[in-house]
Structure 1
Amino acid sequence: MIVRSKAPLRLGLAGGGSDVSPYSDIYSGLILNAIINLYTYCTIEETVDGMITIDSNDSHCYKSYPMVEQLDIDGEASLIKGVYNRVIRDFDVKPRSFKITTYNDAPAGSGLGTSSAMVVCILKAFIEWLGLPLGDYETSRLAYEIERKDLNLSGGKQDQYAAAFGGFNYMEFLQNDLVIVNPLKIKRWIVDELEASMVLYFTGVSRSSAAIIDQQKKNTFSGNEKAIEAMHRIKKSAIDMKFALLKGDMQEFARILGQGWEDKKKMADAITNPMIQDVFNTAMSAGALAGKVSGAGGGGFVMLMVEPTRKKEVINALNKLDGSVMPFQFTEGGAHGWKIYPTDKVK
């Protein structure tokens, strides 16, 4: 039997960073995000060679291990090993012989929540294969614990929930890692107008978000008033943008996006750099209204709001730089898995 799964990547529209502890523990956080038609993928194939074979395309790891209850976390294919170890431990599953293959539509460090979406994707494959009793909230919470606590990888909480739930979501992050996901029903014409008004540009530079996130944590712990006040405004922007989105007010949406970027740059020095500023200068000169870097910053994807009639001008200008424009659409479905049976067993 073969099991496959896929989980979508997300655009963080507003409130980014307010889902990161300790800020969310002290002040609570608010996030507005939406998933797009870029995905992470996982395949589990049952084998009979008595080995656990890992083929992680994104980390360029291809290795086989004996059927043990816990795989060593040694820096190679950590996300796969982290999920495997937790599933075996939490659900009293006996080790089995299998091959697992993963890959991604976007590079790691792109700011689209790739690592967290991959953890959800891998976990969803195990859920489908083993029949584990986990809904969207349980899957998201377990993925968060694997990534942030078991593997000690820096980051927030929104990405796991976005990948599991799908669609447009307004999320609340409270004390004790409590998360409330509020799905938003956006009219089709508003989604179409938002797609027509947005350009997604990959800078060509992947970056580690850990240093930026750690700086944000330090600012909160140390009581850095400038940074904390900026984060308060970023959190409020999630409320304001939600109303703009529900009304289809793209001018207000763009204004909030731009203000959010100005506040975000106050959170850590490495959030922007001359390369990113060059992207903004080029886009604005060609007619873009506003923009922000997706994710922690420092590189990855930049999302820009434009007047739809000038979208092609902005794209043509950006194409002269070293990165690339990424076509995309917003989509609804969250992570899911399915089984493939040998044809001789299909009835």
Structure 2
Amino acid sequence: MSTIYRSKAPLRIGLAGGGTDVSPYSDLYGGAILNATLSLYAHASIEIIDKPEIHFTAVDRNEHQQHTTGIECATDGYLDLLKGVYNRIRRDYGMPDTGFHLSTFVDAPAGSGLGTSSTLVVAIIGAFAEMLKLPLGEYDIAHYAYEIERRDLNLAGGKQDQYAATFGGVNFMEFYENDRVIVNPLRIKQRYLFELENNLLLYYTSTSRESARIIEQQSKNVVNKQGKSIEAMHQLKEQAQRMKEALLRGRLHEIGEILDFGFQQKRNMAEGISNSLMEEIYETAKAAGATGGKISGAGGGGFMIFYCPGTTKHNVIRSLERFGGKTRRYQFVEHGLTTWSL
């Protein structure tokens, strides 16, 4: 029986500061984000085969491609994340002559706002690191994933997702020029985390979006010194500080208000972050008892989260039924990227 190398990395929700990890804002002003990883994962498996062939399969997308070993795989818009990681690791560390089958699966749809693409890249790097015994630490893997996505594949986006997936847990992250990132794990009391988990509703709007377009617009607004957009990002950075303090001190009654503040600011960052459907869903949830919420990720679709204090969660769930979306059960997880072989 051939050896199989496996990995999994957790998806995340951003709780505050979203968008301030994107260049050039983070290079010019410094960014700050507070996020938490969930029991939803990106999975990667590499199985060694006896033929000089490389098979790439995205199981959840029903996509498959085959290549010959020993050559760089052209990135053509099809399975590019898988091929991009393979190409970069082959270039930097070399690959054995044996063939293999790399298969992936993500527990949430692409474009859903939980960091699926970056988390998948981290998981794939993890599987190759397990196979090749690469001496990579958490910061190394996260930065490597960022370079592959942003530089090799030219995909627009920020830096938080790669670090959340690699480190895991609840983290306050700081972003500076020259791609410098500092991850500060937060020691939040267990009862506060349980209450946060109980009260935060994860709702999938059943629409996805291409985050790159929204993020490109956001970056252009900073380059063009759009005052409204930059001021919104300053306010979101301040929101991350407020969220950190509320969680550490157990002032959970403030969470909804802090999220609502961020929702109002985020609209000003770029066109397309919110839309009429998102606004209607948001107002419906608030009328049913939610005290605040946010659109997850870059915006425009995907998941939304709502803070539902006391016993309001089930009322909020009922009120959202008419929109045809789905609530998703989850738990917070402390572990980041995990790899193993058998």
TM-score range, shorter chain: over 0.9
> Equivalents in 1 of 2:227, 2:298: separation in Å?
20
Pairs within 5 Å for 1:179-328: 179-328=181-330
What is the Cα deviation at residue 69 of structure 1? 3.3
Q: Which residue of 2 aligns with 1:139?
A: 141
What is the Cα deviation at residue 321 of structure 1? 1.8
The letter for the 2-side match of 1:178 is: R
Whether the 8 Å CA contact 2:36–2:164 is kept in 1: the answer is yes
Q: Which residue of 1 aligns with 2:120?
A: 118
> Equivalents in 2 of 1:64, 1:228: separation in Å?
45
* DSSP-derived class of the 1:215 partner: helix
What is the Cα deviation at residue 95 of structure 1? 4.3
Pairs within 5 Å for 1:23-62: 23-62=25-64
What is the Cα deviation at residue 57 of structure 1? 2.2
Work out which of the residue numbers 92, 99, 119 in structure 2 matches 1:97: 99
> Equivalents in 1 of 2:194, 2:159: separation in Å?
28
Cα displacement string for residues 280-305 of structure 1 (whole angstroms, at most 9, x for unaligned residues): 12211211111110100000000000
Q: Which residue of 2 aligns with 1:344?
A: none
Pairs within 5 Å for 1:126-165: 126-165=128-167
The letter for the 2-side match of 1:265 is: R
Moved more, 270-279 or 151-160: 270-279
Moved more, 57-66 or 286-295: 57-66
Runs of 5+ consecutive residues of structure 2 not aligned to the other structure: none
Q: TM-score, structure 1 length as denominator?
A: 0.96
Structure 1: 4+ residue segments shifted above 4 A: none
The letter for the 2-side match of 1:288 is: A
The letter for the 1-side match of 2:22 is: V
The letter for the 2-side match of 1:70 is: E
Q: Which residue of 2 aligns with 1:175?
A: 177
Work out which of the residue numbers 58, 67, 77 in structure 1 matches 2:69: 67
Q: Percent identity?
A: 50
The letter for the 2-side match of 1:107 is: P
Whether the 8 Å CA contact 1:283–1:317 is kept in 2: the answer is yes
Work out which of the residue numbers 85, 88, 92 in structure 2 matches 1:83: 85
> Equivalents in 1 of 2:228, 2:280: separation in Å?
26
What is the Cα deviation at residue 4 of structure 1? 0.9
* DSSP-derived class of the 2:272 partner: helix
Whether the 8 Å CA contact 2:27–2:178 is kept in 1: the answer is yes
> Equivalents in 2 of 1:272, 1:220: separation in Å?
19
> Equivalents in 2 of 1:190, 1:63: separation in Å?
46
Moved more, 294-303 or 54-63: 54-63
> Equivalents in 2 of 1:213, 1:59: separation in Å?
24
Whether the 8 Å CA contact 1:254–1:289 is kept in 2: the answer is yes
Whether the 8 Å CA contact 1:17–1:231 is kept in 2: the answer is yes
> Equivalents in 2 of 1:126, 1:26: separation in Å?
35
Q: Which residue of 1 aligns with 2:168?
A: 166
Cα displacement string for residues 31-59 of structure 1 (whole angstroms, at most 9, x for unaligned residues): 10000100011110000011001111244
Whether the 8 Å CA contact 1:171–1:179 is kept in 2: the answer is yes
Whether the 8 Å CA contact 1:69–1:95 is kept in 2: the answer is no
Whether the 8 Å CA contact 1:196–1:308 is kept in 2: the answer is no
* DSSP-derived class of the 1:261 partner: helix
> Equivalents in 1 of 2:169, 2:143: separation in Å?
18
> Equivalents in 2 of 1:260, 1:135: separation in Å?
33
User: How many residues are treated as equivalent by the alignment?
Assistant: 340
What is the Cα deviation at residue 61 of structure 1? 1.7
Cα displacement string for residues 240-270 of structure 1 (whole angstroms, at most 9, x for unaligned residues): 1100010111221211111011000001120
What is the Cα deviation at residue 219 of structure 1? 0.6
Moved more, 94-103 or 214-223: 94-103
Whether the 8 Å CA contact 2:30–2:174 is kept in 1: the answer is yes
> Equivalents in 2 of 1:106, 1:258: separation in Å?
25
* DSSP-derived class of the 2:282 partner: helix
> Equivalents in 1 of 2:22, 2:55: separation in Å?
34
